[in-house]
Structure formats: C-alpha cells, structure tokens
Amino acid sequence: MKESKFEFSYKVYNDISELAKEDATLLNKAKSVTKQAYAPYSNFFVGAVARLANGETVAGTNQENASYPVGICAERVLLGNAATLFPGVSIDTLAISYDSKDVPSDHPISPCGMCRQALLEYETRTAKPIRLILAGQKGKIYIVETVRFLLPFAFTQDELI
C-alpha cells in the first residue's frame, strides 16, 4: 500500500484593502452584482465577475426557480456568458462574493461541486488556470491560483478518450 497526500496553498487577506488594485476592483464588482441575483427562496445572493485574458469583464448571478433543481449558480451563468460573448477567450481571474438576508456575509465561500466541475472544464478547454478570489461582503478573502486545487480527483475528458 502507498499513501498519497494532496495539499495546496492559498492566500488569505484580512480585507479588501490588502488586495492589488485590479483584484479589489474585480471583487467590488462581484459584491455589487449580487444585487442582480434572483434568490427569493434561499435569500442567498451570489455574484461572480471574471476578468478575461482580453481584458473584458463578464458577470453572472445565481438564478433560482420555484422548481428548485431548475436554478443555476452564478459561476455557471458567468461561464455561459463568457463562452457566448468571447468564444475561446480564457478567464484570468474570477471573483465570487455573496450576500444574504439570513446569514452574515463575513467570510469567503467556495463554488459548489457542480460549479467546480464546470469551472475546471472551462479551465481545461482554454488551457489556462482560472485564479479565484473568494469573499463575502466583508472580512477575509481567499485567493486560489487554479480551480484544479478545488477538485483534485476531477472527472475530465481524459476519462472519455
């Protein structure tokens, strides 16, 4: 038997004032776009904003539905927007934030499993790591250098070839 270990490092910032200007700008956009989310059932409003390799930005918000499984997360809305508006252009950095009527938005959140898989697929098809900025409306901020770190045993196209 052989034991293996998976570890990764990420950066932790105390608040937005410690970020580089372009990262702070992107995160502020993600915080702001949470107001456009449609979340009348969970009251959990998520916003995602990406800076693409061509310098453009694209946003997405979660969109809930009374038929609960029909909703879609902010990250996947963003990926669809990016792929449609700028085909083949990679995502440099993606900022994700949230707000809630029910819980404090004072710590980072991470994409759900389905979004991790979708983000990894986008990262793989554009052959460029997607850097993540994860935060609430206030408090600590995490920066992760690649989506791959969030899904170490990913199911990828390699399993299908």
Does residue 160 form part of some domain?
no
Q: Is 8 helix (H, G, I), strand (E, B) or coil?
A: coil
pTM of the model as a whole: 0.96
Does residue 91 form part of some domain?
yes
pLDDT tens per residue across span 121-161: 999 999 999 999 999 999 999 999 999 999 999 988 888 87
Read off the pLDDT band of 68 (50, 70, 90): confident
Backbone angles phi, psi at 132, to 5 degrees: -110, 135
Predicted pLDDT at 159:
86
Q: How many helices (H) and strands (E) does the chain have?
A: 3, 6
Predicted pLDDT at 115:
98
Does residue 3 form part of some domain?
no
CATH number at residue 145: 3.40.140.10
Does residue 130 form part of some domain?
yes
Active site residue 75: yes
Residue span of the structural domain in which 86 resides:
11-149
Does residue 57 form part of some domain?
yes
Spot the catalytic one: 75, 121, 145, 159.
75
**Number of folded domains in the chain?**
1
Does residue 1 form part of some domain?
no
Overall average pLDDT of the 71-82 stretch: 98
Please say whether the dihedral angle defined by the alpha carbons of residues 39, 67, 116 and 74, taken in this order, is positive or negative: negative
Does residue 5 form part of some domain?
no
Encoded tokens for 44: 């959990």
pLDDT tens per residue across span 88-114: 999 999 999 999 999 999 999 999 999
Identify which of 135, 147, 160, 137 has the alpha carbon closest to the alpha carbon of residue 13.
135
Does residue 2 form part of some domain?
no
